[in-house]
Amino acid sequence: MFTKDCDRILDSVAVGVFSVDTDLTIRFFNAQAEAITGFTKQEALGRKCYEIFRTERCLERCSLRRAIETKRQIVKVRNVILNRENREVPVDITVSVLLDGDGNVIGGVESFLDDSVRVSLEKEIRGSWHFEDIVGRDDRIRKVFDVLGTVAPTDSHVLLQGETGTGKDLIARAIHNASPRRKGPFIKVNCAALPPQLLESELFGYRKGAFTDARTNKPGRFHLAQGGTIFLDEVGEMPRELQAKLLQVLDEKEFFPLGSTHPVSVDVRVIASTNRRLRKMTADRDFREDLYYRLSVVEIEIPPLRERPADIPLLIGHFLDKHARLSGKPRLEVTPEFMKTLLNYDYPGNVRELKNIIEHAVILAGAQKLDVQYLPAYLLSPAGREGGADARGAAAGDDGERNSLKALLQTHGWNRTEAARALRINRTTLWRRMKKHGLLPSDPT
């Protein structure tokens, strides 16, 4: 049906292509079709298309059968196939009929694009994070899911307590998207990322002339969150003078922008998170007790990864599945030693750190099975193999220390406060180490 030249041309395109005869038997199968489905050309040729290109449309709404029967092209049908590993792959399908020189139907051609990247980006852009996106079977994390399902439909304020990297951001988004406010905005503010003066203007906005550089009016994050949810990340870092203003918003549902004498009414749900013990901070008078009780109408404790080791293999599989979907490549397997090393580590950076470790290993491994040689250096140090929290600083030599420190900073989004906390050192010591290894960015983090 195809010449060798046509075969070579079709094997070079970035689109999956296969052809069938009128009995829906596969007669051609190009290289990209192999990559997307996971089936080789040899396995596909001579088999029915519905045995290889498996979709829910195959039996009742087969696009190829319809094109052959109607002699009409079918363009841009979105569908989901099951690849050889029985994993779902979203695809865009176009089907054309094949005619001989006399105009008789002799089969059909189906071309298809792996749509995983578009689906993933669309999901992220829309903020479509739901509870099923949060992975875990440990009893403590399942109890968290149960509470989320109960609290999300309400309008109560929520306080998420958990170490850095436990997924507080993801849970906050999931609560928003399962709430009556899901059609409204979800606005995030990191209270630890800005100095007090900037944080106040960021939260509440300002009026023209409020200070030297205030040349125009600027709405604050509370105003932008109108009708939706505002997520106050690391709320424990908020200065006490701002805590009073936040309490006013929660109590009176209004605030004054900087430089304004007129209050702005606001209707928002507040979800706050912290990796600090706010109850203890109230006892130490570092955090207002009245604000703590207003924020913690529902308080959810997210357990660290080291306390739920049974979830580690599940999370590894989840991250590998996600990589396979986005890359259009088969899911990488792991060696027992690779899994053992990851099970023995105690993850000061929690789920976020495990995600970065898997991404690091996948990049270095290419198409190879994941083995310990592809893990970050700090995990292969004696401290890392023993599961010590100081493993990152134990990698041998300056290069090892620099790579380990860089990996830690990347894990924490280059936030020095969080990185220092994970290393159990102060920010000044961390700054000196960053300077020593040339890791200081041009802008402070």
pLDDT single digits (tens) 304-321: 999 988 889 989 988 998
- 148 within 8 A of 131, measured Cβ to Cβ: yes
- 411 exposure class (CB count in 10 Å sphere: 0-12, 13-18, 19+): buried
Half-sphere exposure for 263 (CA within 13 Å, toward CB) = 9
Print the SS3 string covering the chain.
CCCHHHHHHHHHCCCEEEEECCCCEEEEECHHHHHHHCCCHHHHCCCEHHHHCEECCCCCCCHHHHHHHHCCCEEEEEEEEECCCCCEEEEEEEEEEEECCCCCEEEEEEEEEECHHHHHHHHHHHCCCCHHHCCCCCHHHHHHHHHHHHHCCCCCCEEEECCCCCCHHHHHHHHHHCCCCCCCCEEEEECCCCCHHHHHHHHHCECCCCCCCCCCCECCHHHHCCCCEEEEECHHHCCHHHHHHHHHHHHHCEECCECCCCCEECCCEEEEEECCCHHHHHHCCCCCHHHHHHHCCEEEECCCHHHCCCHHHHHHHHHHHHHHHHHCCCCCCECHHHHHHHHCCCCCCHHHHHHHHHHHHHHHHCCCCECHHHCCHHHHCHHHHCCCCCHHHHCCHHHHHHHHHHHHHHHCCCCHHHHHHHHCCCHHHHHHHHHHCCCCCCCCC
Map out the domains of the chain as residue ranges. Answer: 4-114, 123-301, 305-436
123-301 matches 4-114 in CATH topology: no
Q: For domain 4-114, give the fold.
A: Beta-Lactamase (3.30.450)
| pTM for the predicted model, two decimal places | 0.59
- 187 within 8 A of 228, measured Cβ to Cβ: yes
Nearest to 106 by CA among 96, 117, 118, 94: 96
pLDDT < 50 positions in the chain: 1-2, 121-122, 124-129, 388-389, 391-397, 443-445
CATH of domain 123-301: 3.40.50.300
Quickly count: other Cβ atoms within 10 Å of residue 23's Cβ. 9
Residues in the chain: 445
- 342 within 8 A of 372, measured Cβ to Cβ: no
Domain 305-436, architecture per CATH: Orthogonal Bundle (1.10)
| Conformational region of residue 248, where left means phi above 0, alpha means psi within -120 to 50, and beta covers everything else | alpha
